[in-house]
Amino acid sequence: MIISATGGKKDFAPCPEFSGRAVCVDVTPLKEYETQYGVKQKFKFAFEIDLQDDSRDPVQPWVVFTKPMVPSLHEKAALTKFLKDWFGRKLTDTENKSLDLESLLGRPASIVIGHEQSEDGSKTYANIKLIMPHKSGEALAPSGLWVRLQDRPAKEGAEGKAPAGGDSSFRKTTGGGQPPADDASKVKVHVGKHKGIELRELTEESITSLIEHWLPKARAEAKQTADDKRLINALVWYQAKFKADEEAQIKQEEDDINY
């Protein structure tokens, strides 16, 4: 069974039950997990699905994560079974010898998501019950709104921290179309009153204004210049950063409460 990622003290609505198109949008950095066999390095796939999450600003597709998996293609490994289900076939000899997981970004799928209750009945979890290859009709394409975890600002204990070692079949690259943190801050604004100024020189209020007013219009344009694309990617990164900072602040405030 494949489960969606949850965590933290803040409650979030689970992804609705769903059956339909999906597309891989992330291969997360390796992270240490405690198991009955000791500490293991694991990662997750993330899939956008053909269903919009109206609770997000801006509205974007729901994203679900697989359960953590060891990057191993051993015949009994969870990753091997998952890939067989996703591909609809056994892995080829070439794939078994060396599979670049980053090459699976943008690969479509068909998935079924169901709900399950926690043991105490207090929480509802969205679990991917089934994954299959996309076989008919137009495949779902990535929306471009998802910011990969490797491109988000690092924070202690976060899933997006840099990977440490791991199986040779897991090859981490920058990919994903999002700029690294240092590049995002150095992107120059080419529109409005801040034209010619790097984002790192602007106040958070000014960057937020660009996110709220310029970004939606720029994304809607059928034709985007290279400068547009650079600024769009940088603002998406900042948008994720601001949200992460806000959630971290909320968590800090919750941790400071005496129970």
Taking the alpha carbons at both ends of the chain, their separation in whole angstroms is: 35
Please provide the average confidence, as pLDDT, over all residues in the chain. Answer: 81
> How far is C-alpha 162 from the geometric centre of its chain's CA atoms?
15
Tokens 């919750």 — which residue? 254
The full length of the chain comes to 259
Buried-exposed string 31-44: b where 16+ CB fall within 10 A, e elsewhere: beeeeeeeebbbbb
Mean pLDDT of 120-129: 85
Q: What pLDDT is attached to residue 202?
A: 87
Mean pLDDT of 29-34: 91
Q: What pLDDT is attached to residue 6?
A: 43
* Pairing verdict, β 31-35 and 38-42: antiparallel
Give the rounded percent of residues in the chain with a pLDDT score beyond 70. Answer: 80
Does the structure show a pLDDT above 50 at 158?
no
In Å, what is the CA distance from 186 to each residue of 17, 149, 151, 234?
41, 20, 15, 9
pLDDT band at 24; cut points 50, 70, 90: very high
Which burial class, exposed, middle or buried, applies to 26 when counting CB atoms under 10 A from its CB (0-12, 13-18, 19+)? Answer: buried
- Domain parsing of the chain, residue ranges: 1-178, 179-259
What is the per-residue pLDDT across 95-112, written as a single tens digit (0 to 9) for each?
A: 998 899 999 999 999 999
Does the structure show a pLDDT above 50 at 33?
yes
pLDDT band at 249; cut points 50, 70, 90: low
Rounded CA separation 241/123 (Å): 27
pLDDT band at 117; cut points 50, 70, 90: confident
Rounded CA separation 24/109 (Å): 8
* Pairing verdict, β 31-35 and 124-132: unpaired
Which residue would you say has higher pLDDT here, 136 or 244?
136
What is the per-residue pLDDT across 173-208, written as a single tens digit (0 to 9) for each?
A: 333 344 445 578 889 999 988 899 989 888 888 899
Do residues 40 and 71 touch, judged by C-beta distance below 8 A? no
Which of 34-43, 178-187, 236-245 bottoms out in mean pLDDT, i.e. has the lowest? 178-187
Q: What pLDDT is attached to residue 164?
A: 35
User: Please, where are the H alpha helices in 181-225?
Assistant: 181-186, 204-209, 215-220
Q: What pLDDT is attached to residue 119?
A: 80
In Å, what is the CA distance from 174 to each residue of 28, 160, 238?
11, 13, 17
What is the per-residue pLDDT across 41-77, written as a single tens digit (0 to 9) for each?
A: 999 999 999 999 988 888 899 999 998 999 999 999 9
- Running DSSP on this structure, what letter comes out for residue 193? G
In Å, what is the CA distance from 13 to each residue of 10, 124, 182?
10, 8, 33
Provide the sign of the torsion angle of the four alpha carbons 204, 147, 227, 173, taken in this order.
positive
